Structure 1
Amino acid sequence: MTDPKRAARQPVPARALIPHRLAAAPSAHGMVVPFVTLAHRDRTRPVWGKLDPNRLRETLHRKLCQICGDPLTDRVVLYIRPSDYLRGLTPEPGVHPECGLYSKQACPMLAGRVDRYNPHPPEQLTRCDDPVCDCRRWMAPEPDPRDGRREGQPAEAWYEAWLHLRDYVIVTDPGNDTAAPAVGVDLRPSSRIRRLRKVRDAAPGSEDSQPVDLLAALIAIRVFFGVGGPFQ
């Protein structure tokens, strides 16, 4: 549990500047509500940390930015965890570079301002007063025993990976005895990753291994020597 005296001494982070691309996006508590975030019909009422499964599918298969919902362009930014890299895909859709910069500053997880994933008590999925809001169909999904629950768990390390749009390929992993099926962005071969850098360390208590650190160093060396430069 956070020491309240210590927390009181920590400076309050400045509010991230919203880029022009996101100027018309809905916001809540001073932060842009990402296109893929689960929200009521009034999208200024999001369920932070929960994804809308319909919007997620649309975002992946139409190659849209998960923050603004517009089509991705030639440079795509992904935010990945070591577990994603080991599996060979990330379920997180890509973003535009400017949307990614905003996310790194505004998202408490990517910015390292929180050490645990949001818990989602059932009351967050209750109906609102809008009779035509889709929240009346919201239900907490039955967890797949092969999937480790992230809610309330220590945060993993997160990395920023850059790809060409031509290398942004959506794949399906059928799963196995220890991993549930998943759809996401293909991370293999690693040569498709043009830039890679860590944006936050794993939180204390995380069982996260960090195999991506070495890859990030190798990609930095490759770029430094001009071998398959960042966006050739």
Structure 2
Amino acid sequence: MTDARRVDYSGDGLSEDQVAATPWQQARLWVDEAIARSEAQGDVPEPTALSVATVDADGQPNVRTVLMRFFDDRGPGFVTATVSAKGQEIAATGGIAAALTWPSMFRAIRFRGRAQELDREEIEGYFFTRPWASRISAWASQQSQPVGSRAGLESAYDRYAAQFPDHGNAHDVPVPDFWGGWRVHCDEVEFWGGRRNRLHDRLVFTRTGEGTLDDPASWSLSRRQP
């Protein structure tokens, strides 16, 4: 066994008198600050990298990292192949958890709730902003399925690149019918702030009403022990 690495977190944490009035306002502030730090200091390489957890038919958990492509007061959202492992698990159970983590800032946000499928208009609006090569990759990858080799994957890419050549038009590549995404309809949002001596701050918004993440009347705030 290697020696344990010890790092005493020197973050500012988050107190009740600092936290915003709603989970949306606090999450938006932290996401914006992570993006700004990424651009200014470069020590937050993917500020919108979102870890997404689901559960399979046997009750076994799965977690993977995607990019958060939608974020408003309805919750964080991401795109994926609907036939992927996460897509099938979400369709089967509806349960989902997700987290944004910024180690260099000693901060994290946890979202828990139910998955809501993004409507086709939102999916198409996003898909047509992707670079041509990324749109081709969406067709070429049968996400989560086995593939014999890297060469097989690249061969599929070449076939679709020939089928949908790049003419500089966003609509050169259609949206695959197996491509979509989900938003986390949150029942709980936790803000974690790393502090010294492992006495971290954990402030949790819990849903009490049917409003959005920006409706103060729909959320209660509590503190959990680290």
Please confirm whether the aligned pair reaches a TM-score higher than 0.5, indicating the same fold: no
Higher normalized strand content (fraction of residues):
2
TM-score by length of 1: 0.29
Which one has more relative contact order, counting CA pairs under 8 Å at least 6 apart? Answer: 2
Higher normalized helix content (fraction of residues):
2
